[in-house]
Chains A and B, each alone.
Chain A
Amino acid sequence: MGMDRRRFLKIAGLGTMMGFGGKAAFELLAPGAVEASLKDLPLTHAKKWGMVVDMRKMTHEILVACQEACHLPHNIPDWGDPRVEIKWNWSDTYEHTFPGMENAYMDEHFLEKDFFVLCNHCDNPPCCRVCPTKATWKREDGVVMMDLHRCIGCRFCMAACPFGARSFNWGDPRKAPPDLNPGFPTNPDYPTRSKGVVEKCNFCAERIAVGEYPYCVEAANQLKEGTLIFGDLDDPNSDVREALRSHYTIRRKAELGTGPNIYYIVS
């Protein structure tokens, strides 16, 4: 992923400027200049975003960093109760992440390892099929997106998702226990959610729009380069494709035909 990352760093300045820094800076640019400049960014356009998780490099520390890097800027509250918790990315053991693929003689080290999990941004997402209002749908670039203005909170998508990737706002996120959520909402430039809607990982749509890597990818790679590889699965020259060519990878519950787009290098 070296090449993408260097190119990314070059444009990082521009990304910051439009994302969260000086918004008024736009007015300095000529009409259409923003769109024109964005077209050339390596990260803003793809046919099919995907991710490769290199479990050889993954550590507990990185998993914690990934979750924090995502949950704080996305204003995800901590309810302090696994029953109603909201999470966009987290981790679980091999036998829970890949049920039915474990065997009695596996290396213990492997069974104890925690796997990085998030929305699989499936090719054929059952959540989108069942949504009665198209509040969740598949974007042309592959991101399975949520329209939180439209969601009626029927939770059909939660029943339909075979990966448990979806969370419901059982209560008002702004009323989550204050002692667990110091300074909530943690990012004044990103909305919270209202009670009664479903949410999930959005592949950092707001960041790829301005040429930045998803938060988890950025955080993981800061700790260990190449732990999470993000890119266009449709582009044969992308880092993700290179990783998939040169390693044997597995996907969660591929037999269900949803076409998950998160790949795991396990050994």
Chain B
Amino acid sequence: MLDKAIKGSKAYWGWIIFLLACIGVGFGFYMLQWFQGLIVTGMGRDVSWGFYIGQLTYFVGVAAGGVMVVLPYYLHDYKAFGRITILGEFLAVGAIVICLLFVFVDLGNLPRFINLMIHPNPTSILFWDAIVLNVYMFLNIIIGWNVLSAERKGVPYQKWVKVLSYISIPWAFSIHTVTAFLYQGIPGRHYWLTAIMAARFLSSAFASGPALLILLCLIVRKVTRFDPGKEQIRTLGGIVAYAFILNVFFMILELFTSFYSQIPGHMHTFAVLFTGDGNLVPLMWTATVFAFIALILLIVPAARRKEGVLLVACVSVIIATWIDKGFGLVVGGLMINPFEKVIQYWPTFPEIMISVGVWATGFFIITVLYKVASAVKEEAGA
């Protein structure tokens, strides 16, 4: 089936070459980091995790969000989603690749990654995170590929594929729960030490994953002859709406606990992120503004049912959650150091370019897989 990926239009090849160029540039900057060390990034002894780990966290969410098409189809027999489960699964594959690459580029000594298998420590959440992410990736590759192959041959997929699909549903929840546990089980980091962290992660994942999926569906409709479907996009819009409202609600719970209890440590990070002279202040307010725009557009059913409006809402959701999770969460948790001093962090140019390379790798995989999927669907006369 992979041969479908090498027959494409000029625009397709242009996009592929652009992504490959980004990967090349990113790799070049990674070589710089390889030889000089992580000193080329903006991280330091206090903000010891930065943009890379933030992006890892965000894209685990995107990957988990893919389950929002799989779950209604398999558990609620919502037939319409049968048409696009493959898109959710392939998006998850690309997102997980992005996650794993962000872990790799963040490591101080990449070749020793093997120690994770030779000397595993079961009390370490990072160990479990590596396991659940890898398993989730393979689940989605195997399920997606087999379902698509069956569709191409015009036969129903095998039973064991369906079993794997059922397994992949709780597994999607697990990847983001475990990722939240990376943070929420750590003593002494006020911003992270909250029982609602995993719930917040899941709600933002189920908003941002399907929001990205809607954008991708609209692109697929535009550039291929396969139409993911009006109803499908509208239902996804509803899912984004509910999940995002929950996400904002959870955030309000955090704010209430912090500011009604008046415990200094709990209020401190919010104060630094949203007021004062921290360099994340403009970013966090941008996220807030986009969150409000998204809320308004999503809550009104008549508005979100218009695809143009939904598009704006989805972009707003993506910007808001990307800043909140990909930036504010990790940096916010560390920028108040154990001595209660505020430390500023901003990614450096090499750090950004390496991240561009990582994103491009993920989107390259998503592009190729989507190309295959849409070509098969076109052929099947969908």
Contact = CB atoms under 8 A, between A and B. Distances in A.
22 contacts: A82-B44, A99-B340, A126-B187, A132-B127, A151-B109, A152-B108, A153-B107, A155-B48, A155-B49, A156-B182, A158-B48, A160-B186, A160-B188, A161-B188, A162-B188, A163-B188, A170-B38, A195-B108, A196-B38, A198-B108, A253-B188, A256-B187
A168 to B, nearest CB: 6
B119 A133 contact: yes
A167 interface: yes
A217 interface: no
A184 B334 CA distance: 31
Interface string A120-152: 000000100111111100000000000000111
Interface of A: 82-86, 92, 95-97, 99-100, 126, 129-135, 150-156, 158-164, 166-172, 194-198, 253, 256-258
B341 interface: yes
A88 B187 CA distance: 21
Majority-rule SS of B interface residues: loop
Interface string B106-135: 111110110110111101111100100000
Given A126-B186, A132-B116, A170 B109 contact: no
A84 B44 contact: yes
A163 B45 CA distance: 12
Given A132-B121, A164-B338, A171-B36, A196 B48 contact: no
Interface string B328-352: 0000011001111101000000000
B124 A131 contact: yes
Nearest to A161: B338
Contacts of B126: 130, 132, 154, 156
Nearest to A136: B121
B112 A164 contact: no
Contacts of B37: 169-172, 195-196
A168 B108 contact: yes
B45 A150 contact: no
A109 to B, nearest CB: 20
B108 A159 contact: no
Nearest to A87: B45
Contact of B187 (A84, A152, A155, A258): A258
Contact of A154 (B106, B337, B340): B106
Given A133-B121, A158-B45, A163-B338, A168 B113 contact: no
Interface of B: 36-39, 41, 43-46, 48-49, 103, 106-110, 112-113, 115-116, 118-121, 123-127, 130, 182-183, 186-189, 264-265, 333-334, 337-341, 343
* Candidate in A154, A158, A166 with the most chain B CB atoms within 10 angstroms: A154
A96 B186 contact: no
A88 to B, nearest CB: 12
A154 B129 CA distance: 13
Nearest to A100: B264
B338 A129 contact: no
A134 B116 CA distance: 9
Contacts of A131: 121, 124
B244 to A, nearest CB: 28
B263 to A, nearest CB: 9
A168 B339 contact: no
Contacts of A168: 38, 45, 48, 108
Given A85-B45, A170-B43, A133 B115 contact: yes
Contacts of B186: 126, 130, 159-160
